[in-house]
Amino acid sequence: MKRIRIDLAYDGTSFHGWAAQPGLRTVEGTLTAALETVLRHEVKLTVAGRTDAGVHASHQVAHVDVEDEAWARLPGRSDRTPEQAFLTRVSGVLARDGGEAGGPARLVTEVVLSGATVVSQDFDARFSALGRAYRYRIDDRDIPGVFTRHIALRTDALDERAMMIAGADLLGEHDFLSFCKPREGATTIRTLRKLAVSRPELGPDAGLLVVDLEADAFCHSMVRTIVGTLIEVGRGKRPVTWPKERLEQQSRDRGVIVAPAHGLTLEMVDYPDPQRYAERAEMARRVRENPLT
């Protein structure tokens, strides 16, 4: 078996999240079907971070194990490398996804593969990662942008300075139970390395209010709950001390506010040098899956 690292992006608008679910269209389900069509054997995807329904990714990472024979036959009679053939063929199947039953397939670009690389068996897309970075986009301008409605939350004017001050108290290593949907047996302790609130003057996000967050990992709903909390501060409905107070409560109660999914995008997954893949994966498994040991 060869382990293949897959770099991809997707528009999460019409997907019910990453994780495969019976009867629902998901990113994992769609990509798995495409891979099995091309490789002609069953596969299991491991992803760096499962995104919720409606959440986008400009750079997601997954890995899959491919049988040696299936990998070798990918180029066929062409002079392409297996990596090039993999990208071309899987992308071709993905481009025909979404056709109505009994009708013609339609071209879609909701899932785009940007890279396929043979890596060592030590690589684990989830546990080898050093960190993840997300951006939440908010359009609080008097005149909203018509082309941002699927990737940015439309809201009334916000005080970004108050949001930045409030967010500073969340930096560092904490138990983020108040901001997470906890999973039984898993820790909610995370290290939030960056929380920045800004208004870019240039680039595709110019004029928007963006919240950038980086951490070693994020638990379920953590990013959207932090952003939802900061938005309440930005609206002046809560004091700048409220996020810190919520953090110290360590209780996910009825006061929790979760920002809508469509404003959130996974921007980056960071990995160590290849020789540290196994070391990092073992450390992350021990912390995430066995928090009491």
52 noted as active-site residue? yes
For the chain, the domains span 2-119, 131-272
pLDDT digits (tens, 9 = 90+) for 178-225: 999 878 778 899 999 999 999 999 999 999 999 999 999 999 999 999
- What is the topology classification, in CATH, of domain 2-119? Alpha-Beta Plaits (3.30.70)
Q: Which of the four pLDDT bands, split at 50, 70 and 90, describes residue 104?
A: low
* CA nearest neighbour of 241 among 127, 163, 139: 163
Decide if pLDDT at 291 tops 90: no
The amino acid occupying position 39 is L
- What is the rounded CA–CA span in Å between residue 134 and residue 267? 5
> What are the backbone dihedrals phi and psi of residue 154, each rounded to the nearest 5 degrees, phi first?
-90, 125
* DSSP-assigned letter for residue 16: S
Same CATH topology for 2-119 and 131-272? yes
The tens digit of pLDDT for each residue in 163-188 reads 999 999 999 999 999 999 878 778 89
- Give the residues across from 189 on adjacent strands: 175
pLDDT, tens digit, 9 for 90 and up, residues 87-100: 999 999 998 865 44
Catalytic one of 52, 139, 205, 216:
52
User: Domain 131-272 is of which CATH architecture?
Assistant: 2-Layer Sandwich (3.30)
Q: Give the integer Cα–Cα distance in Å for 269 and 123.
A: 13
Buried b (16+ CB within 10 A) or exposed e, 200-209: eeeeebeebb
CA distance 211 to 167: 10
DSSP annotation of 50 = P
